[in-house]
Chain A
Amino acid sequence: MAQIFHPATNVIAKATIFGGLFLLAFVCYVAAGVERSPWITHEGMYREQPVPFSHEHHVGGLGIDCRYCHTSVETSPFAGIPATKVCMTCHSRLWTNAALLEPVRESWNLNKPIAWTRVHDLPDYVYFNHSIHVAKGVGCATCHGRVDRMPLMMQAHSLRMEWCLDCHRNPEKYVRPKEKVFDMAYEPPGGREQTALGEKLVQQYHIRKEQLTNCAVCHR
């Protein structure tokens, strides 16, 4: 009986097996890339808002403290979206005819909240508490980026679990002195200096590193 397969088909067989492996690896690689891309994480994406509120103007330009509007950041899990009244504290007298602010005035007059679009939305199975982070020396800008330079609010980081863990495993890489937590312009000292400062602060603020990666810290 004649050979069904010519010896040269061996090459094709080998190429198919190895090719399949390569193809599988390539698909995994692409999937991991897509999973981490802004398309999924929304990192670096600006969101349309009913009023194009500029943190760059209010924080960077006017120097208003974060806590003027986000009043509950030090005392509760949720930093707080300011009520329309907070906007009107100044805008009852300033830019009273500006068309951009019409939704604010309408909200005030009709006693209807402004429907802001949420920019940072963690999955519902994550427990997150602002107050503890702020109390232990995690700066606003560490997670939210240079908000004072954002004309529209943007998600500065991926908010992926690996991103959270990066700090929960090694908080000394990121903690800063408490009095600098709300300081947008604070520049952490680089490299070893940050590690030295961070290790000191971790001690001083009683950050219990060994507990920070327990599942139940964030998944309750």
Chain B
Amino acid sequence: MSDDGHYKPEEAATIFPDGKLARPLVVGTVPRGGRTVTDTIYAVTAPTTAPAASFPFPLDRAGLERGKQQYEIFCAVCHGATGDGNGMIVRRGFPHPPSYYLDRLRKAPPGHFYDVITHGQGAMYSYGDRIVPEDRWRIVGYIRALQLGDPKNDGLATTPPEQRK
């Protein structure tokens, strides 16, 4: 009685040829009630277009706090709590990411960070399947706040030479 045979999320399932109950998303679909692909919030992710130069929606305090929370869950493990690239995983041997305080990253448009979160870059895998688009922008907002917070930091002290550019 305690196992009536119905599938629970992510169980193995013999009814599909690949044995997975969780079905992959069909390319081009969006969640019901979600934004359509023509919205700027998705459109900027197309890697062929130039990164967005501005945020698609205004960020208030609550948005930045959400960005901080998401940053601390997903980003700080490598990029460090302050964005200098000295996170715990880097200290355990993962390739050092560039510091956010480098001149080129201070000048990079917000869409650049959004694209990197969405598609990954270099050693960094994509986080597009783990962080929803709105939260990616909030994280970008929080990165901007970090960069503002320490104007004297040029990022050189914590970035390996090949990543300074």
Contacts and interface: CB of A to CB of B under 8 A. Distances in A.
Given A93-B93, A93-B123, A125 B1 contact: yes
A113 B6 CA distance: 20
Given A86-B130, A90-B94, A67 B73 contact: yes
Contacts of B93: 93-94
A53 B10 CA distance: 18
Contacts of A17: none
A78 B9 contact: yes
A77 B8 CA distance: 11
A34 interface: no
A31 B129 CA distance: 48
A86 B74 CA distance: 11
A62 B89 contact: yes
A94 B12 contact: no
B59 interface: no
A214 interface: no
B95 interface: yes
A19 B138 CA distance: 72
B88 A94 contact: no
Interface in A77-95: 77-78, 80-81, 83, 85-86, 88-90, 92-94
Contact of B88 (A63, A86, A123): A63
Contacts of B88: 62-64
B92 interface: yes
B39 interface: no
B125 A68 contact: no
A38 to B, nearest CB: 16
Interface string A65-76: 101100100000
B9 A90 contact: no
A162 interface: no
Nearest to A90: B89
Contacts of A210: none
A92 B125 contact: yes
A62 B92 contact: yes
Given A92-B123, A123-B3, A68 B94 contact: no
A187 interface: no
A111 to B, nearest CB: 9
B76 to A, nearest CB: 9
Interface of A: 62-65, 67-68, 71, 77-78, 80-81, 83, 85-86, 88-90, 92-94, 112-113, 115, 123-125
27 contacts: A62-B88, A63-B77, A63-B88, A64-B77, A64-B88, A65-B72, A67-B73, A68-B73, A68-B77, A80-B9, A80-B10, A83-B129, A85-B125, A88-B125, A89-B124, A90-B89, A93-B94, A93-B95, A94-B92, A94-B94, A113-B12, A115-B12, A123-B3, A124-B2, A124-B3, A124-B4, A125-B4
Query: 9 closest pairs, A vs B, by CB?
Result: A123-B2, A78-B9, A65-B73, A124-B4, A89-B125, A67-B73, A62-B88, A71-B130, A93-B94
